[in-house]
Structure 1
Amino acid sequence: MQPIASQPSGQTNVGGCHCNPPAAALLLLLCLGFPTSVAVCPPYCLCASDIISCSGLNLSKLPSGLPSYATRLDLSHNALTALSTDWIPQQFHRLATLVLSRNSINQIEANAFNATPHLLHLDLSSNRITVLNVSLFTGLKELKELLLFDNQIVQINPGALDDLHSLQRLYLSGNKLKAFPLGLYWEPGGPRNLTFLDLSYNRLTKLPVQSLLSLTRQGRIYLQENPLVCDCALLALLEYWLWKQYRPLVDFRGEYPCREDSGPGPTCNQQGVSDMPLESQTYQEEPGKWLRVPCPGLGSSAQEDLVVFWLTPRTVVNSSTDDPSAHLIVLPNGTLEIRGALVEDSGTYGCVAARQRHYDPYTSFEVNVVVGNVSTASAIGSVRRSGTEHFNTAFTTLASCVVSIVLVLLYLYLTPCRCRESRGGSRGCGGRAIILCSDPREVESGQQWSNGKRVAFLEPQAEDSNIGSPKTPAVNLDHSTIEGILKNGSRTVGQSPIDPDHMA
């Protein structure tokens, strides 16, 4: 009888193998790529995989020893007051979501987020921030969503959002802004694809109507519950948005001024406003000539103080522009004058004016302008509108061809048909669709060759069946299809946009 060796404490014997749990845990951490020196969860925090929550602990500074492999860090409902340059003592290269809401942060230094260069979501809501200074978010070139609602922001200085090239969604609701932050769109170092901006519940009284007509073609801007002055320009904007079924207005129609139930509203001059149905019309002219396009719903007797905006395929102009050398001029009665028309001027034009009337979905504020012959203008417009569709169609066709070729090759080389003697003494391939056989002369002579093989696509030959029976396709390769946000700190590759319901 052999003696039984005693096992050290903390070890187990499974299937003849000695296992040490601490060593196994260490090996697992190394395999997962987690540094063992920082893989300890701080006291009172909750750690689950790469998600760390230190919420509601009344912390005044960042806990020490946080695992640097975290992809989501929640520091909400604490007592943080300032974010200095070194408030994060170590690099968090994998951190995608940082939650700092419900603190008392009133100061953020420049370069405060250098330790988190790959952030995608940053939540600074419900704090005490008053001013967004320059270079506040330097280094966050991958940030897509920034939450700043429910603060006390009164000013956004130029360059405050520098480096936020990838920013798509910005929440500024519930602050104290008095001016629309146009710099978010035109500053060279700021966001390049901002498609969602929430400015509701601020203190805005005036809006840059002409700029908004252009900006809202590409995304959503929420402006409800601001003390806006209901003038004729704002009324024209709201009427146009309502006709376009612009979601930020339609969803919060009762929280905007100039409503039907909000009183008489502004006294816009109604002389010259026609009650005739608004129908889409087309105006055509030769290149180099002048073309005048009347505003739908406005007659030639419209007064000179009427506010009119025209949305052209390339820009937005209004009746207050007084530049005799301009290519596009809005005359005092609202008519658009195109001087020296170009073929590139062809397209859809929208006239925005305060008509103060109800419109059904079949009415139109827009007209079509054709410069040159109709076929040329149509071709240019088609290229502008459907370039992406053409690319998608070509890509789908190419992908379908590749898949078809791959399927044929797989069928040929992975499932070859064996040629063998049949009962009747003839040499064949079983009478099925695709066969891989020797040269036909070999079949007739009964000889076997090591080379000279041929691939033949033959009609199916049903054994023991009538000659006159209908033929069926050999291989059916039709109906081949190809199917090709990050949330809570997780990353995805090839993310899809946004948010639908954009302005046309």
Structure 2
Amino acid sequence: MLICLQLLQSDTVHTTACPSQASSQTNRCLCASDIVSCAALGLEWVPGEMPVSAVTLDLSHNRISQLKGGAFRGLSRLETIRLAHNRLTTVHPGAFQNTSGPQLRHLDLSSNQLRVVEHHYFLELPGLEELLLFNNRIVQVESQALSGLRNLQRAYLSHNRLTHFPFFSIQEQSHPHLTMLDLSSNRLLKLPLEDISNLPQLVQRGLYLHNNSLECECSMFRLFRHWEQQGFVSVRHFRHEHTCRVYGLQKATVRFFQHDRYFKKCNLSAASTALGQQRTHSVSVKEGKAALLHCVTALSGHSLTFLWVSPNQEYVAPPGNNGSLKMFTNGSLEIVEARVEDAGVYWCMALDQQQQRNQTSEVNVTVAQRHHESHQFNTGFTTLLGCVVSLLLILMYLYLTPCRCSHCAKATPTASTENEAGAGSAKSSILTPNPPATTEGPGHKVSTNKHVVFLEPIREQQNGKLRAGPGSGAEQGHVGHGLPLEAE
């Protein structure tokens, strides 16, 4: 027991006041290892001269109303900042500058008084994974406010006053890890069906839209019915909290999953095909040629603006970029001279600023390499030609080989032995695996030619007797190498 008590005492984290040479407010904070807690101290601003070793900084339950530029300067190890239950109304540009930046993972700004999430709020936090903005007074989220958060996994914006949200800014290329987007308990009136269907599948599975002020429409009902059939957790866990207003009347709010009589007239057969599919087109172009990409949209009017995003995350607006991409006022994008690296998915957005509507589309571009097909044809043709030539050589060898016939004149017995030896050597060199014996002797080397056809030497008759093959030792009673003479 004494040993256990000693171990417990040795593992206890000692909490002390943070040492500081600056204000007395910092001295009131508590430090435990790399955790700094300044919660519930009545602070009106972020204390200066915080310990540089801080990894977690808790400033919740205070009276901080704004984050000035460089508020967390010098805290290069921060991974978590908690600012919940304050009076925040403004986050100035550069508020998170000179902090840990890519290392910051968790930021809690919940239960404050923010009204607009501006585009510069989180520019210095590319490594942010979890963002808490629920229980504020947010009425607008700017379209580029979350664009730089490529590592974002969870975003909580419930219990605010949002009437619309820039769904088009959430794409698989910009937010590949996002799995939860909580927009519940807001004031959303209509859902942009096209933008929501273009969301990545992971985002759709984790998109929470219950307890809003949606109008009862067939398109809206198809969306949630489709998600219910797919078994999405966002619908299954909050099935009884999905409500809509009949004819837009606040007093005529119904829970449409429990009372779906209003939607019996809706055609739900096309729900599975109309939802979850992106507006995607394909274009194929040869290397070095030009290609024209069209931004397909149903929107019209003089207030339309267009924006393209290339496969390497390059934003393109009229008149284009670097001479390789040319953009026209009608939204079309021209690839001036296609390269192999230009292949990929091009994303287009059409925005009607007057009616606050938008649509997105994608174009999948493939670039065929120059002379690619001709190389394949030449290779195949060469192989076929080689096979034909080989076949002709085999047929010539089989059918055009000289043969002896009965009416041919016989060689005179007086022919010189040297001529017979030469003729026999020619036949032996073709039909036997060994070089002719005539090459053996003083001052001669055995031939090193290799042969394909392995046959026995031809046995010829001369005056009813077996004639020895030329170049072999007849006086020794052998024909060729290792073939004994047999009398007939």
TM-score, normalised by the number of residues in structure 1: 0.45
Q: Rg bigger for which structure?
A: 2
Q: 1 or 2 for the larger relative contact order (CA 8 Å, sep ≥6)? A: 1
TM-score, normalised by the number of residues in structure 2: 0.47
* Bigger helix fraction: 2
